[in-house]
Chains A and B, each alone.
Chain A
């Protein structure tokens, strides 16, 4: 059973007890990430995530790791565009001692200048490591081109990270790690009431909420971005704007993605690209979305000689999709999604993470039945509608590798039969495309 409580100071606590579990997963999820950064502070959310491990008044950095690992705990920290999370899987008898360690590091971090100078080196190595991964570079470039005002690379750049001071980090924590943005979540062996009591006792020192943060308006731009790299393969992404998580059309979009190139062999793209023509080892679609925006992506990589033919094929498949979806493949895509939801629901170590993210996005949790119901409601017309809407947007194309002689952006546009249109039309169209019905939306949102 999923239970949610709000502590007197505003921190939200969510637990999901699983009687047949043998471990507990618990941690902190903070409603902040790289979208809250500016071109000067790019990378600060991630820098803070690193620095919170560097010691408190009570514990050195080594003490933090020891106190968690001494009881066998396995700690993970992750920073994304919209979220920063710190969580541990642990044997249940040690859950509260580990909660105490995490609470200490989250609230009482020292943030010393010498630690930061040292940790900068580590973060810079992480950036450099990323620079050897063409698919990661392609993704970072794509985000920058799609939402230039928004999607700062989570790691930041060498320049922005080098420029950050401990005072910047302190200010960031004071304004972003406030009680209204903190979610504590646990799953597995956990007793909700007791867990809340422990949280209330331990979580007294997070900063109070301050004036609301503001984000620039969401503005999708799109376009073409290519980077030369001495690899054997070219990594490519073709992306289009789609609905955010605050829009029930997301379920129709998920069906669309499943049908076109979801993680299976029988998807259209995998059949055409890999099975029929051997043009690539992998081709897949995915939906990246958060509370504010969404992107529908096709990702692939192949050798220089095959890259243009591969992109032409992908564009043609995308362009004809809306008019060629059959009732059979629509029904099967839905069935695959339904089955995914049920199978994912067996991994209860992930519940803490999933529930916390729901709280961050919707301020409420959804039982599995709710998702199944939403998937069931999607009609073939919803999916066609989304396909028309999404694939008529101006695409973002990102390529990294030996890119000379690669298909031009103009050819991509022409194969997608792209027609430029004024922004006003696009917004009203997106609204009228709420095929599931406005009433079902969790919050009406202009795409």
Chain B
């Protein structure tokens, strides 16, 4: 059963309780991420997330992980463009400890200078690792072109230079100004009791700032291309257009289109590019939302020579999409989406996160039946209209690897006309 409450200071609480669970997943989600950064402090949200584990006024860095891991719990965190999450999963008898530690690290971190210097080393290693992972890196490049010179276009990890420059004081200021009560959500799922949980949250979350903060800078889609030669075996590429925000009326239309184009093995791109032509191992389409924009695109990993054939075929598949949709494939895409919504619900441990994200992006919980009804209501004409709209935009291309044979941008534009 899902229940929500609002604390007097403005923090929102969600619980999703289940009688069949032996554990509790709980965490704090803050609607602050890389999009809230200026260029000179790029990477600070992620750095803050790391430093939250490095000691509070009452716990050392070691205490934080040890206390939770000694009872067999898992503690972790992640940073996105629009949110930062801190969460634990513990056996039900240890949920108070879990909540105590999570609420401690988001309020009372000390940002010790020595710890910070060490952690910078760790983060720079993380950046290096990302640079060695082309199928990740290509998405960073894509965003840097699609949203150039804007917070949304910058990497979540920042750069080695910005990371080196950020000091303890900047981190403390950032935490105290950006982590405000109205941006904070506490969410739990599993063997949890709502009333007790809310009361404990109220006791523990007393020092979060209550001032009003401005939202992030609105994104402006620009488009273009970025090609980077690297001595890889494969070309990794992402090609796409501006998509839809979470709340956009066409968001689910975009999702159905993306499923038809490149979701699953019966999709058009999988069939045409992998099954018929054997040009790739991985190819898929995606419709990724942000709070005020989104990306509709295609990812492919292919060989140096194969890419010469792939790009024209990809353009042709995109251009014929609006005129060739069949009821059968529309129904199949909708069935897949409906089923995947229901299947994701099976894992109770992930409910805490799903509910928190709903709250961040929609400001409320959205019943799954409502989502399913929206998907069911989509008609062929909606899909045709949205496909045409997408194709009218200036596309974005990012490619890394042995890219000599990646079609020139002008030719792509011609082919899409």
Contacts and interface: CB of A to CB of B under 8 A. Distances in A.
Interface of A: 20-23, 53, 61-62, 65-66, 69-75, 89-91, 118-123, 125-126, 128-129, 131-134, 188, 230-233, 263-266, 271, 274-281, 301-303, 306, 332, 335-340, 342-343, 345-349
A233 B132 contact: yes
B75 interface: yes
Contact of A69 (B21, B266, B277, B345): B266
A302 B129 CA distance: 8
Interface string B111-142: 00000011111110110110111100000000
A288 B261 CA distance: 38
A91 B303 CA distance: 37
Contact of B125 (A53, A91, A188, A281): A281
B65 interface: yes
Interface of B: 20-23, 53, 61-62, 64-66, 69-75, 89-91, 117-123, 125-126, 128-129, 131-134, 190, 231-234, 264-266, 270-271, 274-282, 301-303, 306, 331-332, 335-340, 342-343, 345-349, 401
Given A125-B281, A233-B128, A281-B126, 8 more contacts: A22-B345, A72-B339, A188-B346, A266-B66, A278-B117, A280-B125, A335-B71, A343-B23
B301 A231 contact: no
A125 B22 contact: no
A332 B91 contact: no
B281 A301 contact: no
For B275, B280, B342, the residue with the greatest tally of chain A CB atoms inside 10 Å of its CB is B275
14 contacts: A74-B339, A121-B306, A128-B303, A232-B131, A264-B65, A265-B53, A274-B122, A275-B61, A278-B125, A302-B125, A335-B70, A343-B23, A343-B74, A349-B346
B91 A278 contact: no
A80 to B, nearest CB: 18
Contact of A342 (B22, B232, B342): B22
Listed residue (A72, A188, A276, A338) with the most chain B CB atoms within 10 angstroms of its CB? A72
Contact of B119 (A121, A265, A278): A278
Nearest to A345: B22
A72 B338 contact: yes
Contacts of A274: 122
Nearest to A118: B278
A233 B132 CA distance: 7
Contacts of A271: 62
A21 B126 contact: no
Contacts of B278: 118-122, 125
Contacts of A65: 264-266, 270
Contact of A266 (B62, B281, B342, B346): B62
B280 A281 contact: no
B129 A233 contact: yes
A99 B266 CA distance: 18
Nearest to A50: B281
Contacts of A74: 264, 336, 339-340, 343
B266 A66 contact: yes
A215 B213 CA distance: 67
Contact of B266 (A62, A122, A123, A306): A62
Which one of B21, B65, B279, B339 has the greatest number of beta carbons of chain A within 10 Å? B339
B160 to A, nearest CB: 11
Q: Which of B53, B266, B302, B401 has the most CB of A within 10 A?
A: B266
A125 B91 contact: no
A119 B270 CA distance: 12
Contacts of B339: 23, 71-74, 90-91
Nearest to A279: B121
B134 A265 contact: no
Contact of B271 (A62, A230, A232, A346): A62
B69 A265 contact: yes
A129 B282 contact: yes
B348 A125 contact: no
A23 B271 contact: no
B69 A264 contact: yes
Contacts of B71: 335, 339
A137 to B, nearest CB: 10
B259 to A, nearest CB: 9
B72 A281 contact: no
Nearest to B190: A346
A128 B69 contact: no
Nearest to A120: B278
A47 to B, nearest CB: 13
Contacts of B62: 266, 271, 275
Contacts of A132: 134, 232-234, 401
Given A125-B303, A347-B349, A69 B336 contact: yes
Contacts of A281: 122-123, 125-126, 129
Contacts of A348: 346
A230 B280 CA distance: 23
Report the 3 A-B pairs with minimum CB-CB distance, sorted nearest first: A339-B72, A72-B339, A121-B278
Nearest to A119: B278
B72 A233 contact: no
Nearest to B21: A346
Of A118, A131, A346, A347, most buried by chain B (CB within 10 Å of CB) is A346
A36 B49 CA distance: 46
Contacts of B65: 264-266
A278 B121 contact: yes
Contacts of B129: 232-233, 281, 301
A126 B281 contact: yes
A346 B23 contact: yes
Nearest to A128: B233
Contacts of A280: 122, 125
B28 to A, nearest CB: 18
A277 B349 contact: no
Nearest to B266: A65
Contacts of A21: 346
A122 B125 contact: no
A279 B122 CA distance: 7
A70 B128 CA distance: 42
B47 to A, nearest CB: 13
A118 B233 contact: no
Contacts of A338: 72
Contact of A346 (B66, B74, B277, B349): B349
A40 to B, nearest CB: 23
B148 to A, nearest CB: 24
